[in-house]
Amino acid sequence: MSQSNPRAYNFNAGPSALPLEVLEKAQQELVNFQGSGMSIMEMSHRGAIFEAVHNEAISRLRKLYAIPDNYEVLFLQGGASLQFTMIPMNFLQVGKKASYIMTGVWSEKAYKEAKLFGEPVQIASTKENKYRNVPSLEELDVYSDDAYVHITSNNTIYGTQWSEFPDTGEVPLIADMSSDIMSKPVDVSKFAMVYAGAQKNLGPSGVTVVIIRKDFLAMANKDIPTILKYTTHAESNSLYNTPPTFGIYMLGEVLKWMEDQGGLTEIAKQNEEKAKLIYDVIDNSHGFYTGHASKGSRSLMNITFRVADEELEKQFLSEAKDAGFVGLNGHRSVGGCRASTYNSVPYDTCKALSDFMIAFQTKHQ
């Protein structure tokens, strides 16, 4: 932080930074939304005002992400963690297997939940390499009778990301995109289903976006609890039960902000420039900083690294905190440092970290 910029340099992994313009607009509209005399949080989710907000958010998401008409867009709750359960509950039929590609903790959690409902199999894993990379496409062996193949597109803890997605042919491909959804253009038609918690690139915590192909949806198991059926939410426009109204409103405002940035092509360019600022410092530090992820698998969303030795690393994190940097500690399971540079993290925030890292190395080398 500085006197001219009282906001923290926010690198939190999630919930994460939101655009200042969106926060300021929400502040202005918080008490009296569209002249209603109520906050968006106080009004009925079945009333005309919220329904318009809800539908506009879906429309903007469809347009920005170029989602084909044969896909449903759902706003659910429970985060990606509930999706780990709902997916096998809905789509892992008796006598079928589901293939999971293991690239980190979140794919491990998804696989664990699938074991409660049937026979998931691990068709590839980079665990032996401490999840420093994602598997090469040549390593994958997809079986034609699989119920689905599941991947995690970006791995927040280890800082790895798929740059190219596997082609699973007729087997439905499902992607957990919680930490890189809408960070770049993606051909949604390659997937039977994409899902993501909103709290990294799309808004505050509490909303989970599900994009699901209609013919895949039609294959879902029937004999499961009503609220855990995707068809329930598709048939009711995600209004079967009370949705997280404020979160959906905020998601819609973040999508407007993305449009104002120039859409996903421009967002992707900005994300590449931001990440390069930090990766260049790591690569040019002659070992003072070392990245965790292999170069070919590096994430543009989560930059994971270590400092030369343990004591210096503690000092780095302490001095960074004093300088106004927030969220630079690595995940508790692996330690180290992590800078999460999601869509809403400004270029100037990444430049400030780059400058701080260079100055710290110069002082302590």
pLDDT in tens, 271-287: 999 999 999 999 999 99
Tell me what pLDDT residue 3 has. 47
In the residue annotation, 176 being an active-site residue is answered as: yes
Domains belonging to the chain, first-starting first, are: 24-260 (3.40.640.10), 262-364 (3.90.1150.10)
In the residue annotation, 200 being an active-site residue is answered as: yes
Instruction: For residue 196, give the nearest of 263, 254, 130 by alpha carbon.
Output: 254
Pairing of strands 160-161, 154-155: antiparallel
Percent of the chain with pLDDT over 90: 94
Instruction: For residue 220, give the nearest of 70, 69, 79, 88 by alpha carbon.
Output: 88
Helix (H, G, I), strand (E, B) or coil at 162: coil
Residue located via tokens 């995600």: 238
Residue range 57-91, pLDDT digits in tens: 999 999 999 999 999 999 999 999 999 999 999 99
Q: Which of 146, 162, 176, 274 is catalytic?
A: 176
343 CB-contact burial (10 Å; exposed 0-12 / middle 13-18 / buried 19+): buried
**Cα–Cα distance measured from residue 183 to residue 156, given in angstroms and rounded to the nearest whole number:** 14
**Cα–Cα distance measured from residue 152 to residue 191, given in angstroms and rounded to the nearest whole number:** 12
In the residue annotation, 106 being an active-site residue is answered as: yes
pLDDT bucket at 266, cuts 50 / 70 / 90: very high
Q: Which of 162, 180, 200, 257 is catalytic?
A: 200
Query: Model pTM?
Result: 0.97
Residue 2 has pLDDT above 60, yes or no: no
Q: Report which residue type is found at 321.
A: K
Instruction: For residue 149, give the nearest of 117, 180, 192, 189 by alpha carbon.
Output: 192
